[in-house]
Structure 1
Amino acid sequence: MLHIRPRPQGRCLPLPALLPLAALVALPAAAQDEAGSEADPITLDPIVLTANRVPTPEREVGSAVTIIGAEELEERQVRVVSDVLRSVPGVSVNRTGTIGGLTQVRLRGSEGNQTLVIIDGIEVNDPASGSEFDFAHLLAQDIARIEVLRGPQSALYGSDAVGGVINIITRKGEGAPSVSGEIEGGTRASFSGHATLSGATEGFDYLASIGTLRTEGFSSAAEWLGNPERDGYRNTTSFAKLGFDPLSNLRIDLVGRWTDFRAESDDFIGGIGATDAPSASDGRQLFGRAQARLDLFEGRWQNTFGVSRTQHQLNYLADGAVTSRYEGNKTKLDWQSTLALRATALPEVSHRITFALEYEEDEATSESAWSSFDRSIGQTGMVGEYQLGLWDDLFLTASVRQDMNDLFGDATTWRTTAAYTFDATGTKLRASYGTGVKNPTLFELYGYTDTYQGNPDLDPETARGWDMGIDQAFWQDRGTLSVTYFNQRITDLIQGTGETSVNVAGTSAIEGVELGLALEPVDALTFRASYTWMNGEDATGAELVRRPRHSASLDVNYRFLSGKANVNLGLVWNGAQKDWAYDAAYTRSVVSLDSYTLVNLAAAYKVSEAAELFARVENLFDTEYEEVYTYGGAGRTAYAGLRVAF
């Protein structure tokens, strides 16, 4: 929804009045107009955390961003995060087979490793897996919100953010100590559940959660192609968050996350494709961050210091024996300083200036029967961002970043955005332009498998992209329609050939239109819909693979019986798309994958204030579909469970 704030009256400030900047003095960002009445209620704008380097009111954001809240995740009974991302405009999801298979997420047609993923402030892209984050193992337990920021964001976040950013924030401990949890069972011996302990006292909050998901699953190689063997999956994830205020202006946050998984899979054979085999993988992920935030001058100057560490371990197995091992580690140190200014002579002009300094080191190691390597690369980044607000209507931002890399030349990227709101009509116009750079990954440079050899001569990819859009509220704010056109260009795109990786000479072009609709025609009945048209071609004019030209989604939710009961219907339509096939010599050719529609149905009923029964059916009509050539999606499954809270 587009949240509209009443327009202050009696404002008519001419542009020349902006010139005497010498009158600027620092004032608290939350200062109120002295003419306003203290008795009037204050409506706070929803905050977007990812679109700029500092949290920004939604109405001031000029980029295209989608926010998914905890309530929507609960209504749809989402268990893995990638499933809810299918309904976001501009997002393509491809899973290699069923749950537990490699899951790639692309934003606006960019590659999977051009999507930066952040969980609780930790950048979790894996240096040993092409600097990509595999969404296969990310459970949706205790998530407070997901933000999907689209378009080149390298000026804010560096190399991995050419396509955009997916930021996942888990819940924070609040209120009296409480225990909550849920448990469910389903077809194919499926089981999942989690338990959470949380709470807060004055100056201290905490949350600890542990969850598991297990299933016998379906065959990763498409069952309708003659592959009956089931490929099971198990996942155990736990995390903890602590926050405390040793001083009134000092905040300390600690977060740690651990995941252990095992996924049975199938082999891929040139000339045949995916086929049943006793293959599997197991691994562990360990993410952690410590952060301190110091507020000075009544919050006008904020400084944040942080250190993050991620570790990805992945073993490939055949007949129970390890055939290869991969480990990716990332260490990051960061400092950010933000100063908020407001002009006393010009109360409707606000400024926010941010500077950030980051250092990160990526390390990737692998061991296998055919090769091994151990490589690392360091990078230092400096970021500057300026935000300007005029008359509480026009909001401009400009960002620039300088990256100094151990292997490649220094890179400068920049971004600018604009947003203008018409409160009287509930209209917001927005536009953004940005540049990006994506360095070759350690695996692309030096990696080896039995069929692949790295290419140390690769050049960085460069990108530029822009978008423009409108968010329009209507029907007394019961509805919001968003329309965005985007255009993106990537030069020296890196693509795999089956045997190595190469830069595709020239520029790849991607453009498209994103539509989003949120509607509440009557109380407790909501509709959420999206549609994306996207056309992506590489420099040779060939259609980019695994990017459907058309995709759409619809989510309908209804609460009744005084809010005790809830029913949810979800549809995802994925249009036809291209993919790669390989012959016996692993020579690549292009094939077409058919369109498909998935229908999910979920319902819940609160039997008391502390207990709720729920059930759902996924892939209600047992649709046979492929997101990757010869790999089959999951068939119809049903689940039922109980959720409690004390």
Structure 2
Amino acid sequence: MKQTNMQTSVALRFRRMTRKSYGAFNTMHRIINIGTLTSLALACAYTSTVSAQNIAASEPEYNLGEPDKELTGVTVTASKTATPLNEATRLVTVISAREIAQTPARSIQELLNYVAGIDVAQRGAQGVQADVSIRGGSHEQIVILLNGVNVSSSKTGHLSFDFPINLSDIERIEVLRGPSALIYGTGAFSGAINIITKHSAETSLYAKATAGMHRLVGAELRGAMTWGKTENSLSLSRRSSAGYRTNTDYEIYNALWQTRLNLPAENKMDLQLGYNEKKFGANSFYSAKYPNQYEHTQRMIASLRGDLGGERLRLLPTIYWDREYDCFELVRGTTFGQNHHIVNNYGAGLIANYSSLLGTTTLGGELRYEEVIGNKLGTPRAKPESYYTKFGSRTNVSLSLEHTVKLDKWLISAGTLMSHNTLLSGKYTFLPSVSVNYHPLDRWSFVATWSRSMRLPTLNDLWYTDPVHKHGDNLQPEYAHSFEAIAKYQTSHVEAHLSYFLMKGSNLIDWVKFDPTETAFTSHNIAELTNQGLEAGLALRLGEYLPFLGDAGRLSLDYLYMTQQHRAPGVAMSKYALNYLRHKFTAQLAHNVGSRIEALWALRYQDRVNQASPFATLDLKLDYRLTNHLRAGLELNNITDTQYADIAGVPQPGFWLSGSISYSL
């Protein structure tokens, strides 16, 4: 594991566990085995027990001090109980604030492109819109969380990243591979992405201005202060571009307020309020037949989370509200094919962790209510209002129980999640999970997990119809059984991992055509599908062996190989489920240029089944330290000017140059 430090990246080991908020995951694109997967029936996982040791918080963008060789404690966000790093039962990639600042990305979606196990199928560039999936799952089969609160769109996975966050706000991103229903609820069919923001007020001011090709302009401002027992921060931003081709212009606005109330005995309450707005030309986003599409979305979020109790018993209550607004025009500037929808998601949950000599027992529960009003989704309203002629709703209740025990070099965790949704009258689903970790030596660990997962249809799956799409009837949830085996090796200079995964799914939901001449795709359960593959990674700390690279010199290599077998009778064309990455390779090289310039090269190669041919892109980020507070950056994306499309009929940008200047105090 690497500490977030500008000059040196050092492998860390954790010798004891505490409940302190020490940052276990200050590492970029490193695979970390997360252990003791205590259950989270909540779709909102608790995460505030981890804060990056105040290293990333006090100097979030550029840390110049000497690295610590070892940390003394660790708390784990995907779990609900502090666990030593070597007692681990899942595979997690963590991207820290330091590495986010180094990476030549302008959005979370572009940042995730550098993770081999993630497929980012972009429509609009630079965070306008992208479908993000994990290990061959669809973009509907993952849960997106902001500080542990579920911000996934219940309407459609296309909009799951429409939430108010800037890259400079992020302390780290944790990517949990594989089904995670016991942790994050039924939506985590193939994995979860948890985005954790900075809470500390030690950095009082951060400002950044950006400009580049295609009339790209942007500005960010973040302020933080401590007032009494509270830590408060406000982040604002605007970014826009004229677009890299016709009808790809965009404007994006973000505002995020956070308050942490520190209570006695390390108890705390976290409040977050956010607003996001996007206006963008959607050239051929959903159908090549209509290139002049346009979309306007808004998202408002509010949540309150707590961490209360003592050493033996911890109570983690959460309440949240998430409001989505979406206006879509099939032909820009006209009412043809126009959609208007407002979606409200309300949630409340409680997790109780109890630790004893017999191990750790976790009981969790969540109640989530989803409603939509609009002109496409739901059933006719008794009293229509303007565009809002239809209404639909559903309620999901879930309970989970898990117990974890440690026996010498073994750690065993088992539990189950019970879920009930009002759309499935009288039906209760149980999703068990078992994890085993064997740690024979300090440098080696071996993990095996088995779990069952389920996903409900989205609101679009259930009800959406337009000239090129038609919802199916009697859609049922999709299910899967998954297995994973992991081997990991780690020293102070080398990290390596190898993982084999297998997922067997049934009733998989997709938008399909049964005849290529059909004018519309229809949502259907398309029978059975099996994904299996290998993930491998190697990270080398090169600074000590190749001094010309500087103390920060490091090389990371990651590779995904996947195959798929499916039985989908009669299906002639599939939009999502049968379009997967066969190969993805990523390489990153970080080094210094003199004493003031940092460089990071990022190479990505991928081969998707339904693409005409594989492609590769090369990006470069140069960062120049003018003073301790002032920085200048240069980003060169797609240096080779590769012509490619992640989604058929939606070409992505060629070479794009931009620059920035930032100030922190």
Fold match, TM over 0.5? yes
Q: Rate the CA distance shift 1:211–1:64 in 2: closer, same or farther, 3 A.
A: same
| One-letter amino acid matched to 2:429 | A
Q: Does the 8 A contact of 1:620 with 1:636 survive in 2?
A: yes
Residue in 1 that maps onto 2:663: 644
Runs of 5+ consecutive residues of structure 2 not aligned to the other structure: 2-10, 18-48, 50-68, 377-385, 513-519, 544-550
Q: Rate the CA distance shift 1:266–1:7 in 2: closer, same or farther, 3 A.
A: closer
Residue in 1 that maps onto 2:46: none
Q: Does the 8 A contact of 1:315 with 1:325 survive in 2?
A: yes
Q: 1:198 and 2:227 equivalent?
A: no
Give matches, 1:273-284, under 5 Å. 273=288, 276-277=291-292, 279-284=293-298
Q: Using the TM superposition, give the Cα deviation of residue 395 of structure 1 relative to its aligned residue in structure 2, in angstroms.
A: 1.9
- Aligned partners of 2:159 and 2:429: how far apart in 1? 21
Residue in 1 that maps onto 2:432: 414
CA displacement 1:591-645 (0-9 Å, x = unmatched): x432111111111111111111111111111110011111101111111111111
Q: Using the TM superposition, give the Cα deviation of residue 212 of structure 1 relative to its aligned residue in structure 2, in angstroms.
A: 1.8
Residue in 2 that maps onto 1:535: 563
Q: 1:295 and 2:309 equivalent?
A: yes
Q: 1:572 and 2:604 equivalent?
A: yes
Q: Using the TM superposition, give the Cα deviation of residue 100 of structure 1 relative to its aligned residue in structure 2, in angstroms.
A: 5.3
Q: Using the TM superposition, give the Cα deviation of residue 67 of structure 1 relative to its aligned residue in structure 2, in angstroms.
A: 0.8
Q: Does the 8 A contact of 1:131 with 1:441 survive in 2?
A: no
| Equivalent in 72, 94, 117 of residue 67 of structure 1 | 94
Give matches, 1:484-499, under 5 Å. 484-497=499-512, 498-499=520-521
Which secondary structure state, in structure 2, belongs to the residue aligned with residue 59 of structure 1? coil
Which secondary structure state, in structure 1, belongs to the residue aligned with residue 340 of structure 2? strand
- Aligned partners of 2:459 and 2:158: how far apart in 1? 8
CA displacement 1:177-197 (0-9 Å, x = unmatched): 611111111011101221111
Q: Using the TM superposition, give the Cα deviation of residue 54 of structure 1 relative to its aligned residue in structure 2, in angstroms.
A: 4.0
Q: Using the TM superposition, give the Cα deviation of residue 76 of structure 1 relative to its aligned residue in structure 2, in angstroms.
A: 0.9
Q: Does the 8 A contact of 1:593 with 1:629 survive in 2?
A: no
Give matches, 1:42-191, under 5 Å. 43-50=71-78, 52-54=79-81, 56-99=83-126, 101-129=128-156, 133-134=160-161, 139-175=166-202, 178-191=204-217
| Equivalent in 350, 359, 369 of residue 361 of structure 1 | 369
| One-letter amino acid matched to 2:364 | A
- Aligned partners of 2:628 and 2:222: how far apart in 1? 17
Q: Using the TM superposition, give the Cα deviation of residue 406 of structure 1 relative to its aligned residue in structure 2, in angstroms.
A: 0.7
| One-letter amino acid matched to 1:187 | M
- Aligned partners of 2:421 and 2:93: how far apart in 1? 32
Which secondary structure state, in structure 2, belongs to the residue aligned with residue 58 of structure 1? coil
CA displacement 1:164-211 (0-9 Å, x = unmatched): 111110111243x61111111101110122111123366321111111
Which secondary structure state, in structure 2, belongs to the residue aligned with residue 149 of structure 1? strand
- Aligned partners of 1:107 and 1:510: how far apart in 2? 11
Q: 1:351 and 2:359 equivalent?
A: yes
Q: Using the TM superposition, give the Cα deviation of residue 160 of structure 1 relative to its aligned residue in structure 2, in angstroms.
A: 0.9
Which secondary structure state, in structure 1, belongs to the residue aligned with residue 160 of structure 2? coil
- Aligned partners of 1:341 and 1:237: how far apart in 2? 44
Q: Does the 8 A contact of 1:551 with 1:573 survive in 2?
A: yes
- Aligned partners of 1:92 and 1:314: how far apart in 2? 25
Q: Rate the CA distance shift 1:339–1:268 in 2: closer, same or farther, 3 A.
A: closer
Runs of 5+ consecutive residues of structure 1 not aligned to the other structure: 9-28, 30-40, 220-228, 343-349, 579-591
Residue in 1 that maps onto 2:13: 4
Q: 1:443 and 2:471 equivalent?
A: no
Q: Does the 8 A contact of 2:164 with 2:256 survive in 1?
A: no
- Aligned partners of 1:160 and 1:496: how far apart in 2? 18
Q: Does the 8 A contact of 2:13 with 2:71 survive in 1?
A: no
Q: Does the 8 A contact of 2:320 with 2:346 survive in 1?
A: yes
CA displacement 1:489-514 (0-9 Å, x = unmatched): 11011111244211113x21000000
- Aligned partners of 1:282 and 1:55: how far apart in 2? 42
Q: Using the TM superposition, give the Cα deviation of residue 363 of structure 1 relative to its aligned residue in structure 2, in angstroms.
A: 1.4
Residue in 2 that maps onto 1:525: 553
Q: Using the TM superposition, give the Cα deviation of residue 249 of structure 1 relative to its aligned residue in structure 2, in angstroms.
A: 5.4
Q: Point out which structure has higher relative CO (alpha carbons under 8 A, 6+ apart).
A: 1
Give matches, 1:454-493, under 5 Å. 454-474=471-491, 477-493=492-508
| One-letter amino acid matched to 1:290 | L
Which secondary structure state, in structure 2, belongs to the residue aligned with residue 141 of structure 1? helix
| Equivalent in 316, 333, 341 of residue 326 of structure 1 | 341
Q: Using the TM superposition, give the Cα deviation of residue 532 of structure 1 relative to its aligned residue in structure 2, in angstroms.
A: 0.2
**Structure showing greater Rg:** 1
Count of aligned residue pairs for this structure pair: 573
Residue in 2 that maps onto 1:286: 300
| One-letter amino acid matched to 2:363 | F
Q: Using the TM superposition, give the Cα deviation of residue 456 of structure 1 relative to its aligned residue in structure 2, in angstroms.
A: 3.7
Q: Does the 8 A contact of 1:76 with 1:568 survive in 2?
A: yes
Q: Rate the CA distance shift 1:7–1:382 in 2: closer, same or farther, 3 A.
A: closer
CA displacement 1:218-261 (0-9 Å, x = unmatched): 22xxxxxxxxx252111011101101134445422101111011
| One-letter amino acid matched to 2:13 | I
Q: Which TM-score applies when normalising by structure 2?
A: 0.81
- Aligned partners of 2:637 and 2:158: how far apart in 1? 31
Q: 1:261 and 2:278 equivalent?
A: yes
Q: Using the TM superposition, give the Cα deviation of residue 134 of structure 1 relative to its aligned residue in structure 2, in angstroms.
A: 4.1
Instruction: State percent identity of aligned pairs.
Output: 18
Q: Does the 8 A contact of 1:196 with 1:208 survive in 2?
A: yes
Q: Does the 8 A contact of 1:484 with 1:513 survive in 2?
A: yes
Which secondary structure state, in structure 1, belongs to the residue aligned with residue 109 of structure 2? helix
